[in-house]
Amino acid sequence: MSTRGQVLPEGRILRYTFVERVNHWIVAFAYVYLLLTGLAFWSPWLYWLAILCGGGQISRILHPWAGLIFFVAVIYMYVLWAGQMHTTDTDKAWWRSLRSYVRNEDEKMPPAGRFNAGQKLLFWGFLVCGILLLLSGVILWIPEWIPWSLRYLRYLAVLVHAASALLTIGLFMIHIYMSVFAERGAFQSAVRGDVSEEFARRYHPGWYKEVVGTGPAPRK
Amino acid sequence: MSQATLRIQKISGHAGSVPGESTQREPVLCKLIDTTTCIGCKACEVACVEWNDMPFSPTIFENTYQTMPDTRWNYWNLIKFNEHERDDGTLMWLMRKDQCMHCADPGCLRACPADGAIVQYTNGIVDFQQEHCIGCGYCITGCPFNIPKFNHETKRVYKCTLCADRVSENLEPACIKSCPTGCLHFGTKEDMKMLAESRAKQLRNEYGFADAGVYDPPGVGGTGVVYVLHDIKHPEIYGGLPSDPRVPWSVKLWKTPLKWLGNVAMIGGLVGLIVHYLRYGPKTREVELERKHEGEQP
């Protein structure tokens, strides 16, 4: 099965393969658990989230393991998608047209490929933050084993872990907004894998052209 | 019980107010350790283990009188033995009883995310409440004195309570009670500071310790344990007593500016997305229009 999508019957196009979807949801569920328990440890105002997740002790024990699952799945995501995530000239033009994108003037956007520049930022952001979260997270997992002479590692870890988690939260909020609220059909594509031809043509014209072999529909 | 909550002035990981903040006029308590009269008998170590009913843990002999390298989760009171070479080449023992310093501004409490796992009583005692501890170990990172110790079986952290149970019954801590030389004293912070200063003055004027002084580090708001040292200029020689202990800068940065910045950014981001949706709505609407349009002209 091609990872780049194929033409399905009834005017649908396969956007995400089964493997990509499964991997995405492993990352997603692990991340949401990490987010809820992490926010509980972040602020006393949100400590009730830890109670909701089975109590402070359980949350403390499971958070690092969920982190490992998250990290492994993110690395597999890298294996699947890294080749398609390089910044192209279209992406640079895309960032310059960000204003139009925000205003939903999608016809003014340069023709994005399978992933637009924003999605590429999400991907690299999660990869880099994932690595930082893992490195700092390992130290926070076993602070009692870090010798006193290396205590600066612990001092660094609390900052790096919180700061990189905050960055992922920013990316995550936009990701959820785009996929669930702004681009109807996007969430469905992450679940069942397929999108309509209109969806592909409008949001990912470069990719549509690749898959279907025709140019984007002329705009009026 | 109602009295107990009134006696708490700081609570870790706590949203909202603290019941005992500025509601009682309890004196701040303090332990005074005069290192110049400690003979290293370890009666305080034994008294601590006995009073707190802690299990014994094996130790390894490493050519030192010191019982073990550092305090443990079940060994809260440890005399650090240091053979110090003076400028004239002669040796002297520096013996310092190491334990929780009961900081006025406790880094452990600042770093702790679990509601009520660390409290500071109005008398200044910083106490771990293990039933609320989640075992994250942030207190270990927050402490500038390397005191909180993790128990791998219970997955919780332990340290000296300044015998809060004894003190609440108007008894002195077990270590104080056991000291045979009178190098340990217990009382109000005010009294102990006065006693310590007069002893330091005596050491300077009558015993030739020109640098003798009182260790009550201001970087952590002062401590509930003060030392009289022969050499206040070099506290490190007393088994690594930090010269200017502070709550780690990263813990402060993390718990105050980063927290506020993060909260503002998260709430701001959420509001921004909602406003965007109200102003521009979903992109889908336009896809639907296109589909409808194509339907008209097949």
Res B293 pLDDT > 90: no
Is the pLDDT at A219 greater than 50? The verdict is no
pLDDT of residue B230: 95
Q: Select from B111, B134, B290 the Cβ nearest to the Cβ of A56.
A: B134
Alpha-carbon dihedral angle through residues A70, A74, A76, A77, given to the nearest 10 degrees:
140
Q: Of A38-47, A118-127, B54-63, B188-197, where does mean pLDDT reach its minimum? A: B54-63
Q: What is the pLDDT of residues A7-41, one digit of tens each?
A: 566 788 999 999 999 999 999 999 999 999 999 99
Distance between alpha carbon B56 and the CA centroid of its chain, in Å? 24
A219 falls within a domain: no
Nearest chain B residue to A55, by CA = B134
**What number of C-beta contacts closer than 8 Å exist between A and B?**
132
Is A52 touching B (CB cutoff 8 A)? no
Percentage of chain B beyond pLDDT 90 is: 85
* CATH number assigned to the domain comprising residue A22: 1.20.950.20
- What ipTM goes with this model? 0.89
pLDDT at position A212 is 82
Contact A185 B287 (CB under 8 A): yes
Q: How many degrees, rounded to 5, is the angle at CA A74 between CA A70 and CA A80?
A: 145
Burial A77-103 (b: 16+ CB within 10 A, else e): bbebbeeebeeeebbeebeeeeeebee
Counting residues of chain A whose pLDDT is more than 90, the rounded percentage is 83
Two tokens, residue B106: 């406790």
B259 and A42 within 8 Å at the Cβ level: the answer is yes
Q: Residue A146's Cα: distance from chain center in Å?
A: 32
pLDDT at B257: 95
pLDDT of residue B22: 78
Average pLDDT over residues B158-184: 95
Global confidence as pTM = 0.91
Q: How far A170 CA sits from the closest chain B CA (Å)?
A: 7
- Say whether B134 and A143 touch across the interface (CB within 8 A): no
What's the domain count of chain A?
1
- B87 pLDDT band, cuts 50/70/90, is confident
User: Cβ separation of B113 and A47 shorter than 8 Å?
Assistant: yes
Q: What is the pLDDT of residue B288?
A: 60
Q: Taking 80 as the threshold, does the pLDDT of residue A220 lie above it?
A: no
Indicate the domain borders of chain B: 2-246, 256-296
Band of pLDDT at residue B4, cut at 50, 70 and 90: low
Distance CA A84, CA A100 (A): 24
A104-133 burial string, b = 16+ CB within 10 Å, else e?
bebeebbbbbbbbbbbbbbbebbbebbebb
Q: Give CA separation, B291 vs A187, A219, B153, B288, in Å.
A: 19, 13, 63, 5
Q: Which of B2-16, B141-155, B184-198, B240-254 has the lowest mean pLDDT?
A: B2-16
Residue B25: what pLDDT? 81
- Residues across chain A: 220
- A1 within domain boundaries: no
Distances (CA, A) of B201 to A11, A218, B19, B31, B205: 92, 93, 41, 19, 6
User: What average pLDDT does the segment B39-46 reach?
Assistant: 96
Nearest to A158 among B250, B269, B280 (CB): B250
β-strands B225-229, B29-34: how paired? parallel
Cβ neighbours of B153 (radius 10 Å): 6
Evaluate whether residue A217 is within a structural domain.
no
The average pLDDT across B162-189 equals: 95
Tell me the average pLDDT across A72-97: 96
- A6 or A21, greater pLDDT: A21
**In A, which residues are within 8 Å of B135 by CB distance?**
57, 60-61
pLDDT band (50, 70, 90) for residue A6: low
C-beta atoms of B134 and A103 within 8 A: no
Q: Which residue has the tokens 């399978």?
A: A114
Mean pLDDT (whole number) for B150-157: 96
Q: Quick one: pLDDT at residue A214? A: 54
Interface of A with B in 62-101 (CB under 8 A): none
Question: Among A73-77, A104-108, A152-156, B17-21, which stretch is predicted with the lowest mean pLDDT?
Answer: B17-21
A3 is a domain residue: no
Q: Which of A143, A166, A196 sits opposite B140 (nearest CB)?
A: A143
Can you give the pLDDT at residue A3? 44
Nearest CA in chain A to B12: A44
* Gap between the Cα atoms of B110 and B258, Å rounded: 14
The CATH class of the B2-246 domain is alpha beta
| Range A70-85 average pLDDT | 97
Q: CA of A36 to nearest chain B CA: how many angstroms apart?
A: 14
Compute the mean pLDDT over every residue in chain A, rounded to the nearest whole number. 92
pLDDT computed for residue B189 by the predictor: 97
Q: What pLDDT, on the 0 to 100 scale, is given for residue A83?
A: 95
- Closest Cα of chain B to A75: distance in Å? 26
Residue B39's pLDDT band (cuts 50, 70, 90): very high
Is residue A7 one of the residues assigned to a domain? no
- Domain extent for A169: 15-212
Mean pLDDT of the B155-169 span? 95
